[in-house]
Structure 1
Amino acid sequence: MKVQRTLLASAVLSALAPISHAQTAAPAPDAAPIQKVVVTATPFGTGEGEQILAPAKVLAGDELREKVGSSLGETLSQELGVSASGFGAGASRPIIRGLEGARVKMMENGMAVSDVSGLSNDHAVAAEGAVARQIEILRGPAALLYGSGAIGGLVNVVSERIPTHLEPKTVGQAEVRYGTVDNSRNASGSIDGASGMIGFHIDGNVRRGHDYKIPGAHALGDPASERGRLANSFTEQETAGVGASLIGKRGHVGASVSLLDSLYGIPSGEGARIDQSQTRYDIDSLLNAPLPGFETFKFKLGYTDYGHEEIGADGATEVAFSNRALESRWELAHKPVAGMHGTVGMQTENTHYSAASEHGHVTVPPTHSTSVAGFLVEERDFGPVRMNAGVRLENVKRRPLGHPKRDFDLTSYSVGGMHEFAKGYSAGVTLSVAQRAPSAEELYSEGPHHATETFDIGNATFTKETSHNIELSLQKTSGLLRWKANLFKNKVKDFVFGHITGDIVEDEGEELRERIFEQADASIHGAEAEIGYNQHGQGLSLRAFADMSRGKLDRGGSLPLQPASRAGIDAGYRTGAIRAGMSLVRASTQDRLASFEETVTPGYTQLNANISYTQRMKEHDLTWFLLAKNLLDEDIRLSTSLLKDIAPLPGRNFVFGVRTKF
């Protein structure tokens, strides 16, 4: 810890020096607000729909507030190309184009969340959407920018805990809501302000939810099984964050600290629950015009201390997980040279991870992992054609206690182009190769994981995954009527997956299913399409979408836990202070099963609605809202959930709430 404190202090002092004599950069009082939503998790800071290397979707404002749920997976589950895992209300992780776990990188303010949600679906993501300013979804080959864990894409939760501009006056927002299906109560809020050249931010969230009601029997195909409420589906969570920055004309330097505590049930029938905690420290700095020929220099540093305990019905801890991570990131953006505009950077990560059973078994041995990566991304316009190209070189080391050491040299690269063949119309293609090092769990697991009722066995001889991806896109990005369509194919050499063999392993009197991690070649292909009319204006708005993906092993059979094909339609209406909407999603029956999967997942129809009214009270906006979820009270099972046979999603739910901005 002494070394880490010294590194943190040095970073603050070095970033502070060139800014300390700068003048305050307050925005002009009469400046027009910028309507364009900028995607922060890109090297060029461009808007949604302008991405080549990584197609983007941004949830912000009222749209985010209407979709936010008890987990990040629930919040994003109806976005194009995004589905969700499901382990009750407490744990649901986004799945992008049929890829999950370590292949979908979870970030907060551009840095890794550094939890263990990528290991298993029962582990919640340690990032809170209720206090987010926006959530960014980058589908496709984002790996070369943010790491080998992003073969499938990434999700970036932007909370703006470290201010980047000075507010002319103190502003804030607060919200309270109540849900009928689980008697849930949720309160969240944030405050932003400034004193001289110092900007500050405070946010917090508290959530309480009881076991939720289900539409019918909890067991699929067994009408005699338990009804009413799904046992052990409760959630409890508290988060808090505070940050401050020194802000001048040439940039900013700031720091933040955040805390998360969560307790939630695992509705597997065993009465297990997970007690999760995380403390996170971040430093973020930006220097404009650092050197001749360069536009900006960015430096980020983050330290995360994460842990959770899986607790049995008797109150005893069965497995304790721990992950301590120190991550740094440097980015230097240069001015155009021969028409090329780009960013060069480095990223390092140092983690200490372990998973130990209280019965003496080591589920995953203590493992020290390090990674060092350099990346370069360049962009240039050739008339109506915009080209992007990038490369990332990375070395990953795994150093487990008592097991073979492994080193992986990874090379990822991508090239893409977008041609605006008519005003507002463009077509694009992206080719990429991305490599991923197997995780410590995939390499070294050797013990029980009681929440999933599995006994996991890794393979220390695994080689790196190599993904070859091609994506074609066509879109209309201007006017009231806009649309986009994507086709993609991903060939993955040495794909790692968990194979449930059917054998039973006895552990302290409990029967666990044997799950062996295996490696084989696989392919994933799919299509997405979306059309929208007047999505952000007054009056009537419409949206329709459809997506599908197919994941197969080259040796035969489907990949496990594949998402269902979906189609949906949204309709909304805005006039003055009133906003209303309705969405209908139809998911098909999912019968593409892995060799060890037995149950077909039935299709379902999900109907949601919302209405809100905003009133002006002096200098405050007060918005009253009603959200209705699963209005048809459908028995919804997720094909991506290990608990699909015994844990349906909540039944009909009405959420009443009020939020204010000041």
Structure 2
Amino acid sequence: MIAQRTLLASAVLSALASLPHSVFAQAQEQTLSAVVVTSTPFSNDEGAQILAPAKVLYGDELREKLGNSLGDTLSQELGVSASAFGAGASRPIIRGLEGPRVKILQNGMSVMDASSLSNDHAVGGEASTARQVEILRGPAALLYGSGAIGGVVNIINDRIPTVLNARPTGETELRYGTVDRTKNMSLSVDGAAGDIGLHIDGNLRDADDYRIPGNVSLSDPALGSGRLPNSFARANSIGFGASYIQDWGHIGASVGVNDDRYGIATAERSFITLKQTRFDLEGLIREPFGNIESLRFKLGHTDYAHTENLQDGTPATNFKNNALESRLELTHKPLAGWRGTFGLQTENSEFSALAADGSGPETVPITKTNSIAGFLVEERDFGPFRASAGARMESVKRTPDAVSDLKQRDFNLGSYSLGGLWTFTPGYGLGATASVAQRAPAIEELYSHGPHESTATFDIGDANLTKETSRNFELSLQKTEGLVRWKANIFQNRVKNFIYGRTDGTKVDEDGVAGGEFTQRFWAQNSATIRGAEAEVSYNLRGEGWSLRGFADTSRGKLTGLDNLPLQPATRFGGEVGYRQGPWRSGVKVLHAQQQDRLASFESFATPSYTRVDANLSFTQNIHSTQLTWFAIVKNLLNEDIRLSTSVLREVAPLPGRNLIVGVRTSF
């Protein structure tokens, strides 16, 4: 293995050393196009988002990184890891924060699924039909929720059209993966009929149990090897949208349906069936009155349900979430030099996790949540200094079913953020952001008291938990212009009353009686501190010719007076080299993760270090008005045994081995 890595490094260095001067000269003439970040009120491009550091995945880069889940797709971004609960369920973890502290959006509205409750729950949004995926932090995150301490991930699929196309446009893709016999087909098409914009998107994915490089368990070879049992994943989705578009704005609606089935790679061999139907309504009015530049309103309704089934197909627990969210945003014209957005957001939901046969214990009783929030985000330039500020006031009420005999909880939350960017010379910026964010305990943290089949835990909440208060500080330095760009961030989050799940190893049965197969897990609170740093340098990242990138990230979370936070990401660093010329595009990426032995007091498995190598090659040809792209992607080229420290199943569920993905994509 060492020899392989040495040869790879030598080949890359030799290739760079042999570059002719003309290649670099040609690359220096390239310019990088701006990317509009839709989840901010200021329409800034990605490079300008220092106060809300953002990564925007789109185009070829998004397709090359696309995985079977949202977490897998984003897992190699700076500061982002994944929960990795098998192939079917993987959620992004940002700077060591997960679950309800990272908010997942679809077109700026909450996905309203159950993925924030537990690592075995899949995200309700589909990245394979996305136009772009945004990672957002900082003041602008307050637009979407006080609890988004870690950040926001926004999946943009433009299901409600905002422009009229002169002719139908779209993209279709077919791909096949060898490691799990993945067969994936996706499409996204936009058109128009007069003043009506039309949209359709869909995805079909069928993946078998995936191959692994070695044994299921590093400590127990008897658990098997070859393929990871019960790691299959099936996912189907379809969406329709239409809108009436005029010079004054637009009004439109959409409907989307997700139908998933995936295995849980534990000894119990359970599996999950998931169905979600989503309706959205959106309107935008330009300059509706006075000093208002635009008025945007959104309404979203989700009917979500998933069932955790035993190996023989017997339903064990039914999870349901019926939710309605509304948003009203007004963007005002400059006022005393300040520009920004203010508005209101409401959410009403009914969530439950009940025994499927109606006779067992309730994992989470029927609980209604009502919340209302007001928010404001502002920005102003003072010469070379840009100031940004945000505030959000929110009221949350959680009301469990009277039959449960659990008390109602009310939380008043206040969050605010202040930041500044000093452009001390053109293209160079020094920024700082300070924020205070409060989060209400989630439903399962308050009211859980029952078995969770897929995680093999008996979850016990605490109805007396208090709100979290996080005080965050970030310092950034970056170069945002030219072929060579770089950025570096350091951050610290101090969280009062941090809520986390802990276990003492006690085994109980489904009724909570000692001696069963479920591990008791209690929700508890303690002060915590998360510190970390990130750095990235790139050359000609999106231009023709050669491109280079180096990166590193690290974070560490500790509970005050105790030990480390559980499921913390490993320190990572790596680099990539790419080449583009005419219709050809290629690249090699190397990521090394160090051993993660900074464990919580109740954790015992330290994940070993690993080196992951990915490569890609594509060729694009034009046939009349259609662009055809043939591509090949190799993930985990060295066939490494990769176990993520952020995965609950790291001891028994390594990531897939070497995977060759081939396919074709058409754009018209």
TM value normalised by structure 2 = 0.93
Partner in structure 1 of residue 156 of structure 2: 158
Partner in structure 2 of residue 357 of structure 1: 355
Partner in structure 2 of residue 609 of structure 1: 615
Aligned partners of 1:344 and 1:138: how far apart in 2? 18
Residue among 423, 426, 438 paired with 1:435: 438
Give 1:103 shift: 0.2
Give 1:34 shift: 11
Aligned partners of 1:46 and 1:113: how far apart in 2? 24
- The residue identity in structure 1 corresponding to 2:372 is V
Partner in structure 2 of residue 572 of structure 1: 578
- The residue identity in structure 2 corresponding to 1:373 is A
Give 1:140 shift: 4.1
Give 1:142 shift: 4.8
Alignment of 1:87-236 (within 5 A): 87-140=85-138, 142-236=140-234
Matched, 1:319 2:317: yes
Contact 1:141 1:153 in 2 (8 A): no
Aligned partners of 1:142 and 1:629: how far apart in 2? 34
Per-residue CA shift, 1:181-240, capped at 9, x if unaligned?
011100000110111111000010000000000000001233443011110000111000
Aligned partners of 2:196 and 2:83: how far apart in 1? 41
- The residue identity in structure 2 corresponding to 1:369 is T
Aligned partners of 2:494 and 2:130: how far apart in 1? 34
Give 1:37 shift: 1.2
Give 1:180 shift: 0.4
Aligned partners of 1:181 and 1:379: how far apart in 2? 48
Partner in structure 2 of residue 531 of structure 1: 537
- The residue identity in structure 1 corresponding to 2:126 is E
Aligned partners of 1:651 and 1:369: how far apart in 2? 42
Aligned partners of 2:35 and 2:282: how far apart in 1? 21
Residue among 619, 626, 651 paired with 1:645: 651
Give 1:271 shift: 1.1
Aligned partners of 1:616 and 1:51: how far apart in 2? 35
Partner-residue secondary structure (3-state), 1:507: coil
Contact 1:142 1:151 in 2 (8 A): no
Aligned partners of 2:312 and 2:199: how far apart in 1? 41
Contact 2:139 2:418 in 1 (8 A): no
Contact 2:129 2:203 in 1 (8 A): yes
Give 1:51 shift: 2.1
- The residue identity in structure 1 corresponding to 2:296 is K
Partner-residue secondary structure (3-state), 2:47: coil
Aligned partners of 1:542 and 1:435: how far apart in 2? 40
Partner-residue secondary structure (3-state), 1:214: strand
Partner-residue secondary structure (3-state), 1:551: strand
Residue among 497, 500, 504 paired with 1:501: 504
What residue ranges of structure 1 are gaps of 5+ in the alignment?
A: 1-32
Aligned partners of 1:580 and 1:223: how far apart in 2? 38
Partner-residue secondary structure (3-state), 2:210: coil
Q: How many residues align?
A: 630
Aligned partners of 2:366 and 2:221: how far apart in 1? 45
Partner-residue secondary structure (3-state), 1:150: coil
Aligned partners of 1:213 and 1:452: how far apart in 2? 22
Aligned identity (percent) is: 59
Residue among 46, 49, 58 paired with 2:47: 49
Partner-residue secondary structure (3-state), 2:568: coil
Contact 2:321 2:349 in 1 (8 A): yes
Partner in structure 1 of residue 26 of structure 2: none
Partner in structure 1 of residue 424 of structure 2: 421
Give 1:322 shift: 0.2
Give 1:377 shift: 1.2
Greater mean deviation of Cα atoms: 627-636 or 499-508: 499-508
Aligned partners of 1:538 and 1:74: how far apart in 2? 28
Partner in structure 2 of residue 521 of structure 1: 527
Partner in structure 1 of residue 23 of structure 2: none
Matched, 1:376 2:370: no
- The residue identity in structure 2 corresponding to 1:572 is G
Partner in structure 2 of residue 661 of structure 1: 667
Partner-residue secondary structure (3-state), 1:501: coil
Aligned partners of 1:536 and 1:319: how far apart in 2? 47
Partner-residue secondary structure (3-state), 2:212: coil
Partner in structure 1 of residue 14 of structure 2: none
Partner-residue secondary structure (3-state), 1:63: helix
- The residue identity in structure 2 corresponding to 1:579 is R
Contact 1:570 1:581 in 2 (8 A): yes
Distance 1:599 1:142, change over 3 A: farther
Aligned partners of 1:164 and 1:248: how far apart in 2? 9
Greater mean deviation of Cα atoms: 139-148 or 399-408: 139-148
Contact 2:236 2:260 in 1 (8 A): yes
Partner-residue secondary structure (3-state), 1:49: helix
Contact 1:277 1:308 in 2 (8 A): yes
Matched, 1:478 2:476: no
Give 1:568 shift: 1.1
Aligned partners of 1:34 and 1:349: how far apart in 2? 40
- The residue identity in structure 1 corresponding to 2:392 is R
Partner in structure 1 of residue 461 of structure 2: 458
Give 1:510 shift: 4.6
Partner in structure 2 of residue 399 of structure 1: 399
Greater mean deviation of Cα atoms: 163-172 or 138-147: 138-147
Partner-residue secondary structure (3-state), 2:647: coil
Aligned partners of 1:167 and 1:149: how far apart in 2? 38
Partner in structure 1 of residue 34 of structure 2: 36
Aligned partners of 1:396 and 1:148: how far apart in 2? 11
- The residue identity in structure 1 corresponding to 2:280 is D
Matched, 1:581 2:587: yes
Contact 1:486 1:529 in 2 (8 A): yes
- The residue identity in structure 2 corresponding to 1:148 is S
Aligned partners of 1:631 and 1:223: how far apart in 2? 24
Contact 1:588 1:603 in 2 (8 A): yes
Contact 2:485 2:537 in 1 (8 A): yes
Give 1:398 shift: 0.3
Aligned partners of 2:597 and 2:267: how far apart in 1? 25
Per-residue CA shift, 1:552-588, capped at 9, x if unaligned?
0012200000000000101110000000001000000
Partner in structure 2 of residue 14 of structure 1: none
Aligned partners of 1:75 and 1:125: how far apart in 2? 12
Partner in structure 2 of residue 29 of structure 1: none
Distance 1:490 1:644, change over 3 A: same
- The residue identity in structure 1 corresponding to 2:362 is V
Greater mean deviation of Cα atoms: 497-506 or 154-163: 497-506
Contact 2:139 2:390 in 1 (8 A): no
